[in-house]
Structure 1
């Protein structure tokens, strides 16, 4: 949840790590996003927010606090919340362009921009094709965040080793 003045938005995110963001992989991301936007999932998330006593200690106006709690009541329709929902879609992916580069040159930067703009457009084309399956889809705000990495295996291995150190502690 993000408070902005006298109003609020709800953020329900998706984060995935892929070897590739080729067209064949985009359907998996779209399906995952639509899965998190099912009514039962959104109701569950809303219930978690309203059951958290942290809302009572937030430094916000009491009227806004009550507005949030009221909007998230389980008897209210999720449809009323759709215009407040933002979905950041974080896709970390292995990228050949990034693998081959060692310096952020103007040419490299432009290659990244061109590639990721095309991939984002391809993603949203696929998502729009499925939009008819989600009531009030057009009321929701989506944010594609594409993060290229040179080698997925190296990052996963380093993360796994780091976590293993904490497990043993």
Structure 2
């Protein structure tokens, strides 16, 4: 019996390592290099691989694999759930999320919870921007955040003032 299930996926923006249990994905992050996959659930492994392939080939892909429960505190879980409600092609601010979860003064705490998201892409923390529209903080590096937002069709990054 394998205690730790994990797989690697080569994305257009780098290698990804996914850890999962029978209950769903518990970690999804960018890593420096690919490795070997280990699973005791080939069906779930194939579902996760299909989700990753779907995400990187479609702008509005809907993930099918589950997220493992109880990965954070009650507050973090509330923030992460709200992140899954941000539509592809849109970006919300930390304040937007604080309002959404009913804690309007918690924008800074929302930022902290966002930064602790263990399931990048699946919980789309890259869709959160600063109140001034700036790209701020992303565990997968800001250049990837920009790529992901562009991939999903977010127009806010491409708004530049023309001088001529």
Do Structure 1 and Structure 2 share a fold, with TM-score over 0.5? no
TM-score (ref. length: structure 2): 0.25
Choose between structure 1 and 2: higher helix proportion: 1
